Structure 1
Amino acid sequence: MNKYVRPVLRANYRKTVEVILFLIEEAERKGVYVTTYDILKTIFVADVSHINNYGRPVSFDNYYAMKDGPVPSAAYELLGDERPEKYGHVHGEWPLWQKEASPSDGNGVVKFVRPKRSANTRLLSETDISALREAMSLIKAQSFTETRDMTHEYPAYIEAWQEKGDKKSYLMDFSLLVEEKDDDFVSDVVHASHYS
């Protein structure tokens, strides 16, 4: 009996850094801030929207089902304090943004502020930028619980979380985020992720 193997994308770390910088700048431009949760859920919503409207995600990140919803693994890694080895071509100071405690959002919550450089928007298409802006507006307009509940409704999240055992995260099947697809579409997106 053949066991189904979830398709895995090759995350574009370089582009994801620019996405994070863009979201921090966009939040500051709007007079708000973004937390880790805001950034991760914004990228998720933007990726789902973009793949369904344009045939590819913004970040090509792989998502894991966790207790509070889907988490893009490369973005999560990049938001940490250590520069990921997969993003080793960056020279100079890391991280490229400041973090501050945000106790009004909960214990241990941090917000991302004052990027150390502007996002290189040449790596982001107009549709990427539009999807990110729309997704961030949605996430910032909702409460933590509303966002959590919304992201728990995606079939890819439900399917992955049903595997719940002793782990804290489960790889989501990105193909379940696509509304209209076939096997060729899925393999094309996987292939494109190696060249994004």
Structure 2
Amino acid sequence: MPNVIDYRDVTIHRNSLITLKHIDLKVGQGEFVYIIGKVGSGKSSLLKSFYADVPVASGSARVLDYDLSSIRSRDIPYLRRQIGIVFQDFRLLTDRSAEDNLRFVLRATGWTDRAEIDERISDVLKSVGMENKKYKKPHELSGGEQQRIVIARALLNKPPLILADEPTGNLDPSTGESIVSYLHTVAREGTTVIMATHNMSLVEQFPARTLICSQRTLR
């Protein structure tokens, strides 16, 4: 089976500056991979390069069989629909319920059948233990509950790849542990998960392949 991510001698530019260079990275289906490093070391830029938000300047870069060095603008939305993204700052729509946040995403990605939409929302909320909180708006949820809704949002379209950028940064230790544990469960079920973090205690508690961003490269 082909790799979900296949980077060979890749250089990444951000704001016309080299962020990372000489990146060689292969990630297979169902792998869980940590990306660690200091603030400003390029972790977020690397994750953003996977969904064509930060350009690949040189090298061979393939994600989900898309060639990022030559991807057309009109194909980028199709790539992104296959990637679930878990942000540290949640990015939930504050004026609507958890359920309606998820409904908005499904409609935006082409779902039209109301029964199918309701069934899918119910499935993902149940998977993250939030089926009883679906009517609550973000401000009525704790940080951990909001992050679970964000994970549910990332799972909606059954993506083969999930990117989590410091997903526990705004959470207390116990809640952070439960979030990382659940992401490992997602990987065991066959979805590739790449998580950027600087929390080494979580890496030690939930061990997996770990790569380090340092001195403008990945090792």
Q: Same fold (TM over 0.5)?
A: no
| TM-score using structure 2 length | 0.24
Bigger radius of gyration: 2
How high is the TM-score relative to the length of structure 1? 0.26
More strand by share: 2
More helix by share: 1
